Amino acid sequence: MEQVISNDITTEDIKRARDRSNVRTARTQGGGRSLNLLWLLIGPGILVMLGENDGPSMISYAQTGATYGVGFFIPFILLTFAMAYVVQEMTVRLGAATKRGHAELIHERFGRFWGFFSLADLMFLNFLTLVTEFIAIRAGLGFFGVPPAVAVLGGFLAVAAVTLSQRYWTWERITLGFATFNLIFVPVALMTHPSAGQIAHSCLTWAPIPGGVNATFLLLIMSNIGATVTPWMLFFQQSAVVDKGLTSADLKHGQVDTAAGAVLAATAAICTVLATATLYNHHVKASSFQGAEFAQALVPFLGTLAGKLFAVGIFEAGLVAAITISASSAYAFGEVSGGAHSLNSNLREGWPIYAVLTVAAGIAAALVLIPHAPLVFIVLIVNVIAVLAMPPAIVFLILLVNDREVMGEHASGRMSNFLGITVTVILVLAGLIYGVTTIFPQLLKV
């Protein structure tokens, strides 16, 4: 009997048991309120929110600030991150209550077809998104004169090195370290000496909207929503919660982790808007700017340091997103295929998910280096597909979080359902409007 039990225990089980032992010790010593316990349990929520502040998202926020300055979009961004918290809090409960990743749970509850459908949908979208992240890495380092091949190769090697640590805790802490650089947009915003009164006025009145409601305004509305809530976030955070070993007893800490991530990510997003509002104030036309071009444009007004910090922020946004999005693909593949699906797995046990992760990142990186590749077109297509893919993902989430057979006492209550359904309706409408108006822009001409 002992031999059978021993054969059933994997490297993943042993490493996660060590992490849980540390949590139990901290909970016993601190009565469930110690800072050490919080430190041990945070991670997935902060990573998913800061990971969503990826290259295309930060460029979207930069475009927003350069186009509209300080006004409507400051409170709107706060609203989108409140929506993101509602959605991601549900994934925390799902992961802690079921001990199953998102793809695995869809496969179990809705059948093999929907399991593989969700996997294929996620893998395709994640691959396209990975391309945009390597574009951001290339653009950010390009500001410093780093050749594209060196920048992209360095980014890929960083993704591979962090992932192949074969230890979830190590992977999480290194990625969190990288993610803190998302806040580098804060000092850039402070260099503009933003007006507290102007910011407060925009939050209270949701104004002004220069030029009124037109095609550009509506497209930036959809783009900012798409920069906050996307399908990979659901798969990543729920699987990371499981990989970290969070239980129902850890739910409050998981919710705090997610809320903290939303606050930090919203702060970085708003500071990006404030930074590039400088371009709006100086009447700089930035409608066709990419990541490094925003950094270069800020130099005449804010100085070289501001440009360098902004470029580093774009690079960081692409790198952290490449790491987390690759992980979400690997998690989903392992969960649906029935193989190892943990970053605690050693190479022998978990080689399929590590292979999926590194191969997807490698191909995406290589694509960015193809001469004359339609990179701008790829970014546009990714934005359209990401928003259009969100409605079915959010519907699955609502159904799962209300499934009392798997959720028990942690199933959504009335208020949670009201908020979840409200966010779902908004995302469905936004997805439809964004998709249609992007494909048929003439419908928004005024």
Q: Read out DSSP for 18-58?
A: HHHHHHHHHHHHHTT--HHHHHHH-SHHHHHHHHHS-HHHH
Report the alpha-carbon distance of residue 260 to residue 270 in Å, rounded. Answer: 15
Tokens of 434: 């964004």
Report the alpha-carbon distance of residue 148 to residue 9 in Å, rounded. Answer: 45
pLDDT at 287: 72
Q: Max CA-CA distance within the chain?
A: 76
Is there a contact between 84 and 228 (Cβ–Cβ < 8 Å)? yes
Low-confidence ranges of the chain (pLDDT < 50): 1-6, 446
Domain total of the chain: 1
Find the DSSP H helices in 212-303.
215-226, 231-244, 251-281, 291-302
Residue 96 domain boundaries:
42-444
13 within some domain: no
Q: What digits encode the pLDDT tens for the residues 233-244?
A: 999 999 999 999
36 within some domain: no
pLDDT at 182: 94
102 within some domain: yes
CA nearest neighbour of 406 among 109, 110, 111: 109
What are φ and ψ of residue 346, in 5° steps?
-80, 175
8 within some domain: no
2 within some domain: no
The model's pTM is: 0.89
CATH code (residue 348): 1.20.1740.10
Q: Which residue has the tokens 């390009």?
A: 142
Q: What digits encode the pLDDT tens for the residues 109-164?
A: 999 899 898 888 888 888 888 998 998 999 899 999 999 999 999 999 999 999 88
Q: What digits encode the pLDDT tens for the residues 131-142?
A: 989 989 998 999
133 within some domain: yes
